[in-house]
Structure 1
Amino acid sequence: MRSANSLIKSVSRIEPARLEEVPESVADVVASLSAAGAVLGSALHPTSAANLAVLVRIMNTYYSNLIEGHDTRPRDIERALAGNLDRDEGRRNLQLEAAAHVRVQAEVDRMASEDNLPEPASPGFIRWLHREFYRDAPAPMLRICGTDTDFVMEPGEWRSRPEHDVAVGRHLPPSSDRVNDFIRYFEQRYRFADLGKAARIMAIASAHHRLNYIHPFPDGNGRVSRLMSPGAHRPARVERPDRQRNACLGDAEGAGVAEVPKRCAGDSVSSTVSADIDSEFG
């Protein structure tokens, strides 16, 4: 019989990872959701879709902050995107993290719209999300202080040292020396490119939960999982929008709503993927 300690360290600890046998009632819900999404996508004019995409990014950022206990209002996020930061350091830091969330989701949308999105469950993509989110973070956001620990988090790096071990409420994530193995297993179980449309839709929620269960980074795991999910759902579309709509949806990294129609009035937006993304996924 395997010891309790070996079970805790085993990557199979994240099982069940996916819903392997789908009840008919669940299959019906997935089919309805997929069909409704396709109808909505095809009904929107590219300009309207682009405006909506910008608003959804701000909405996602607002709720992501709220989940973390950070009350940054949509108007504060819009001010941050415009470079109008609060004089108070605490509120300014909240604006900076909100702007980072919008910026990273816009880049994910851009890559998806140009059929250049890496595998969302891959270690490289997950690390890139974390690194990009914290790219311009002020020092206080990177400092991890606890009862017995005090260190500076390195953006994009897994937990790897004993001081990185953490407890989240009553949950004990895998020890830091096992994170890499758990993430490799995570990719194996959630590789979205290998899943059909319905399986992808169902896997998005479970992948979100299991990534947080592994807790691969010292901090920022919830934000990374919430940024991974939009990337994971993009291949699950029943119908892919036309090229102009794709360009508009992926456009306007951090742009305000009023700027988007100007960008969507012409030809498809050109791709500009930063050199570090190229090196990560090239």
Structure 2
Amino acid sequence: MKKINFILILGIVFLCSFISISNYDSKFVEISSVSEKGYTYNVVYMNRGGSKNRIKAKYFASPANSSVPQRFLNFSENKNMIMVSSAGYMDNYGVPVGLTIDNGKLVNKNLGSTDGLIIVYPTGGIVATDIEKGDLTLQGGGITPGRKFDIRNSWTDRNDFIKWAQSQEATVFQTHLLVYKDKLSIATNAEPTKRERRFLAVGKDKSSGDLCHAILNLPEYTSLYDGTFRAKKFLNDTGNMEITFMINLDTGYQDVCFLYNKDASINNLIHGQRSLDYAVNLLAYYYE
């Protein structure tokens, strides 16, 4: 444990040396900790800023010309960083699990068993689909409007989807889809192991209609289903959020997570147990 903590401290120092001191606008980012009925909910609530889309996401999954941690460090220099976290799963060989495309570069062409397919656009937006339904639709890249892609059961659809992602320089990864269209989409017996949980929810504010993203960390150990159930209820009720989708963020072996205050200092309200160099993939949020 002491060794891991020492590595974590070194990682934080190394990370901070690359981060700009410029600020994000706190009216678009709210960091809070709420206790309800004996449970703690640590939340980073991000309003994308209407048509301006001030909050943007970036996903790293390919070593490319340097490692994923180094790519993130290079990217984050002079950026107004909000948060970075491990996201998708990895196998025993350190390869991202499931279909993975990084900015148009094919990393893993094999479709995984998880139902959530996440697309991160170059513009910084994120969308998700349930690939078990076979009704994924796309725009641009010569795709016929209204065409539905069943990438689970059709090799042609999967191949055409990969070509589209490459042509659009899109980023794609798989993970568990926990909530879809504001309804639970997880089985009650899903992963009973109890551990700290971290989720990403995307939806809209019920009052303003603004598009919002929320990263919710549950520090008390819980099963995946129980954590999902409580997180959805909290975001619906206390967070006043209608959830378009919610996905699981990996808190296993590559539990990497850093949260930044508006002055670029580290906020330890939400943090991982591993140093940056453990990351095989990273989901980063920044303000522009």
TM-score range, shorter chain: under 0.3
Name whichever structure is richer in strand by fraction. Answer: 2
Q: TM-score, normalised by structure 2?
A: 0.27
Which of these two proteins has the greater Rg computed from alpha carbons?
1
Q: TM-score, normalised by structure 1?
A: 0.27
Name whichever structure is richer in helix by fraction. Answer: 1
